[in-house]
Amino acid sequence: MKLLEERIRQEGLILSDKVLKVDAFLNHQVDTELAVEIGQQFGRIFGNETITKVVTIEASGIQFAMATAIALKVPFIYAKKKKAVTLSEKVYTAPVHSFTRNEDYQISVSQNYLSAEDKVLIIDDFLATGAALIGLADIVEESGAELVGIGCVIEKSFQEGRGLIEKRGIRVHSLARIASMAPGYIDFLEADYEDVSQ
């Protein structure tokens, strides 16, 4: 998505050859028009599939999952990272290791909202090591729902995540794919879908 690549070039902060900060427009302050455009783009990419639910993980996937769910006219669910006292019903859970925070945590989704009848599209902000997305894919599998695909806003293609997801036979599309980066430098791969945005 050219528009997204431009914004990353202009406003992204490349902290190292592994970490990109996009707090100015995606991850902390959110450009809502861009988030809506991202949702529409995912809607176009996956719109020929039957999808009943969009699933993401709190917190930074929520705005993109919501924009995508609006485009597809379905509900979205965000997996919770801490078990809330209000979450008294049965849950699907999966362990996730966070490399950015160097900690393990459990993600959970209420069994009330995901079942074998669902066809799920997973959406997240970053695809890096793939740990978070694989945790979500495990939850979808545990529920018996069909996983239609995974959409990521930014993929760091030099990390192992995409390969691990493809190895499981899951369809994955990312709107910006970073081949390599370093402070003051960023190189994108070609889009893995037909980019009809401006």
Nearer to ligand 5GP, 1 or 57 (CB): 57
d(CA 114, CA 52): 10
CB of 77 to ligand 5GP, least distance (A): 16
CA angle 97, 53, 32 (to 5 degrees): 80
What's the min distance (Å) between Cβ of 117 and ligand 5GP? 27
3 state DSSP class of 117: coil
Q: Indicate whether 129 belongs to the interface with ligand 5GP (CB under 6 A).
A: yes
Q: How far is the CB of 80 from ligand 5GP (least distance, A)?
A: 15
Stretch that binds ligand 5GP, among 1-9, 35-43, 66-74, 121-129 (CB under 6 A): 121-129
Kindly tell me which of 52 and 93 has the beta carbon lying closer to ligand 5GP.
Answer: 93
- How many Å apart are CA 155 and CA 133, to the nearest integer? 12
E strand segments, the chain = 13-14, 20-21, 53-57, 76-79, 91-98, 103-110, 119-127, 146-156, 172-182, 185-188
Residue 55 interacts with ligand 5GP (CB under 6 A)? no
Compute the distance between CA of residue 69 and CA of residue 52 in angstroms, rounded to an integer: 9
Size of the site for ligand 5GP (CB under 6 A): 18
Candidates 39, 43, 130, 151; binder of ligand 5GP (CB under 6 A) is 130
> CB of 131 within 8 A of CB of 103?
no
Please report, as ranges, the residues that interact with ligand 5GP according to CB under 6 A.
19-22, 27, 60, 99-100, 124-132, 161
